[in-house]
Copies of this chain bind each other. A is one copy, B any other.
Amino acid sequence: MLRVPFGDVLETLVRALGRMGFDERRAALCARLFAETTRDGVYTHGLNRFPRFARMIRNGDIDPRGEAEPVAARGVLERWNGNRGPGNLNAWRSMERAIEIARRNGVGCVALANTTHWMRGGTYGWQAADAGAVGLCWTNTLPNLPPWGAADARLGNNPLVIAVPRPGGHVVLDMAMSQFSFGALAAYRERGEELPVAGGFDTEGRLTRDPAAIEQSGRPLPIGCWKGSGLALMLDMMAALLAGGRATHQIPADPMKEVGVSQVFVAFDPAAFGAPPDLEQLAGGIIASLDGAGTGVRYPGERVLRIRAENTALGLPVEPVLWRELSAL
């Protein structure tokens, strides 16, 4: 594993994006979001994901010049069209706009249709929290999760992100509706490990902790069984409805063709009512209340800060073969 300084990673990605037709400003932001994802330890959606992103641009599935634009507005609710542009740029713009609306109105909401994979969902939670806002956003996805009681993947795993700002470290939840992502299943399998809890069904329909058996059956488990299955359905319905965009069943099931997804971005202004509340005391008090409950308790986002510091100090961990590929793009 190489350790590449953050600045060198940025430079390499910016150059690659320039060659793909990104203008300077958009290349800089897009590169930063990919690099920060790896810096924060979400390796599945950072640099590792960049080659697929580049292929989808070359294939014409993602339009490097596609920019999100407002198409309708009513009060604090806006509907935007992502024009099949880069999903991380579209999502960033949408959350930025939701925060802007919330500053004046307490709450802001942007529903985004016709966009592409937003990569790491947590990015937009950290974005909101860094701006002092409470962020809530979600996306639908291609069909990759069987509804509870069924074997065919008809639901998306529809990641949901919630962020609350806190001076001592933002609290950021970023979770898909499946117990383990396919990326996580592959990682357990490669390490030869069993899953810590049942993660899906084998081809015989039995709950299993064997990651390979779940990869083979294509039947990951929704979190909470019927509950996560229901929540995935609602998130899809709300996103398609508010954005006027596609629902999961209208999105191609091929990951290389996963375009036209729908997303919702909501921002709340914690300082809406005058003096901003003491977020350290409030969020920190809740976190502190968990102390003593047990030794394994972490708050969502806690691990990110440690990994971020480590990767910032040592450089981003990159497989040599991936680094050669990125450098040649």
Q: A residues touching B (Cβ–Cβ < 8 Å)?
A: 72-79, 104-107, 109, 134, 136, 146-152, 154-155, 160, 162, 164, 171, 173, 175, 179, 196-198, 207, 223-225, 227-228, 230-231, 233-234, 236-238, 240-242, 244, 247-249, 266, 268-270, 272-274, 277, 279, 282-283, 285-286, 289-290, 292-300
Instruction: Please state if A228 and B237 are interface contacts (CB–CB under 8 Å).
Output: no
User: With A241-B164, A282-B247 given, is the CB distance from A299 to B76 under 8 Å?
Assistant: no
The oligomer's copy count stands at 2
Please measure, in the bound complex, the distance between the C-alpha atom of A147 and the C-alpha atom of B106, giving whole angstroms.
31
Task: Determine the chain B residues whose CB is within 8 A of the CB of A283 once the complex forms.
Answer: 237, 241
- Nearest-neighbor residue (CB-CB) of A264 within chain B: B268
Task: From the candidates B78, B105, B231, B282, name the one contacting A173 in the complex (CB within 8 A).
Answer: B231
Please measure, in the bound complex, the distance between the C-alpha atom of A273 and the C-alpha atom of B81, giving whole angstroms.
14
Query: What is the distance, in angstroms, from A56's C-beta to the closest C-beta of chain B?
Result: 24
Decide if the interface of chain A is mainly helix, strand, loop or mixed. Answer: mixed
Please measure, in the bound complex, the distance between the C-alpha atom of A67 and the C-alpha atom of B240, giving whole angstroms.
37
Please measure, in the bound complex, the distance between the C-alpha atom of A239 and the C-alpha atom of B240, giving whole angstroms.
26
Task: From the candidates B109, B150, B248, B298, name the one contacting A286 in the complex (CB within 8 A).
Answer: B248
Query: What is the distance, in angstroms, from A10's C-beta to the closest C-beta of chain B?
Result: 30
Instruction: Please state if A175 and B230 are interface contacts (CB–CB under 8 Å).
Output: yes
Instruction: Please state if A164 and B224 are interface contacts (CB–CB under 8 Å).
Output: no
Instruction: Please state if A75 and B162 are interface contacts (CB–CB under 8 Å).
Output: no
Please measure, in the bound complex, the distance between the C-alpha atom of A175 and the C-alpha atom of B78, giving whole angstroms.
28
Known: A147-B294, A171-B233, A175-B227. 4 other contacts (CB 8 A): A75-B272, A154-B293, A173-B231, A230-B299
Instruction: Please state if A290 and B107 are interface contacts (CB–CB under 8 Å).
Output: no
Query: What is the distance, in angstroms, from A176's C-beta to the closest C-beta of chain B?
Result: 9
Instruction: Please state if A238 and B297 are interface contacts (CB–CB under 8 Å).
Output: no
- Nearest-neighbor residue (CB-CB) of A154 within chain B: B293
Instruction: Please state if B223 and A242 are interface contacts (CB–CB under 8 Å).
Output: no
Instruction: Please state if B173 and A230 are interface contacts (CB–CB under 8 Å).
Output: yes
